[in-house]
Each structure stands twice: as C-alpha cells, then as structure tokens.
Structure 1
C-alpha cells in the first residue's frame, strides 16, 4: 500500500514578501481534484481579463483580504479572513484587488468529486 506523506506543513510558512505574481503551491493533486495554497501580494487580474474555468472552485481566504467580481455582477465581493466562496464551472470572475499578503486555500474539482455541503 502506498501511503501519503504525514509531514505537518504550515500554510503560513515561507510567505513571499513582494512577488511580482501570485505564488501558487499545489498541496494535493488527484484526478478531478487539486488543492492549492495561493499567496497574493497586491496582485489583481489584468484589465478586461476574467477566469473562465471548466471545473468548480472553492476558495477560502485564510489571511488578508481580496475583492472578487463576477462578470455578471456590478459590485465586487469583499472576502476577508475566514470567508469562503464556491465558484461554479464557467462562472466568469476576476480578482479586483488583494491585500499584501493574502493567503488563499483553493480547491479545484471536477466530475466525480461529491460536494456534501456548500456554505
């Protein structure tokens, strides 16, 4: 039997200070599932750009804050530490603003991953 590593990792360790781009660390990957730690240091999506992903994404802000706007909404949603949001497949969205640093936990999943509770 192949067992996964049991080392403890700290999601707040080794945070970049002033990275030019968001720093994405893949924590866990399996078919139809990817868990990432994302560290933003003031980044925003380029003007006019929207993410349009084929999979569902659940994001949680662990520290810091960010403004996320869906293409079909006029006003961005402010996410602060402790907030989480479920983003449906192909729901176009963009990051308007991030505080430096903002630490996110992002879970990307596709068919075959059952969502037991959203909220």
Structure 2
C-alpha cells in the first residue's frame, strides 16, 4: 500500500512530481522537494487554483508583491489562478513532502 511519507530511493537532485489522482478538472499530486527553488527571475503563473499543504519539511513561498510565507509541516495555503509566486526555499533534511490539489477550486 502506498504511503505519502515514503521517500523513493531514486530521489536525488531533482524534484519529484507524482500524480496521485485525477478527475474532472482536478489533479492531486505529491511533490518531493530536496532543496529545489524557482529559478531567479521566474514566476509560477498557473491557469488553475492550487491548494497545497506541506506535510514534512520547511519551505518559503514569495508572491510577486514580495510578500513571503514561511511554511512548516502542517501549514497549507491557497494559490489562486494567476497569482504569481515562486518557491524561495525548500529544506533538504528532511525533504519537503507537499500534497497539492489543482483545479477550479474557487468559483468567481
């Protein structure tokens, strides 16, 4: 049986994205980060909302207006569609384990 906290043995210097479930306009994925960040000068600008919870580790998200959110295990947040953001920090030890839900999560 799969376990959300189990770190694959092939994890190395790359971030790992695992699709767990999909449905009509929804994607649930596990992301394992080991120190990866968004490249300098780049921003995520997603077409859909993303609700994310950090299950393990520590991370820092920065928005386009330079507002920063520091996350630790158990913290979650909603990233609205086209809300520009970047990942400024992810812990290596322990690795970050994220659970992300992508879709049209908020109605207009």
Q: What is the TM-score of this pair, normalised by structure 1?
A: 0.81
Q: How far off its partner does 1:9 sit?
A: 2.0
Structure (1/2) with the larger strand percentage: 2
Larger gyration radius, structure 1 or structure 2? 1
User: Could you report, residue by residue, the CA deviation over 1:37-76 in whole angstroms, capped at 9, with x for unpaired residues?
Assistant: 000000000000100001000000000010000112x242
RMSD, aligned α-carbons = 1.8
Q: Secondary structure at the match of 2:35?
A: coil
Runs of 4+ in 1 over 4 A off after TM superposition: none
Residues 47 and 114 of structure 1, relative CA distance in 2, 3 Å threshold: closer
Tell me: CA distance 1:84–1:46, structure 2 relative to 1, closer, same or farther (3 Å): same
C-alpha spacing 1:44/1:16, structure 2 compared with 1 (3 Å): farther
- TM-score in terms of structure 2 length: 0.88
1:54-93 to 2 correspondences below 5 Å: 54-72=47-65, 74-93=66-85
Q: 1:94 & 1:16 partners in 2: Cα distance?
A: 27
d(CA) in 2 for partners of 1:11, 1:106 = 12
CA contact 2:36–2:90 (8 Å) conserved in 1: yes
Match of 1:105 in 2: 99
User: How much does 1:28 deviate?
Assistant: 0.2
Report how many residues are paired. 105
Inter-partner Cα distance in structure 2 for 1:87 and 1:16 = 30
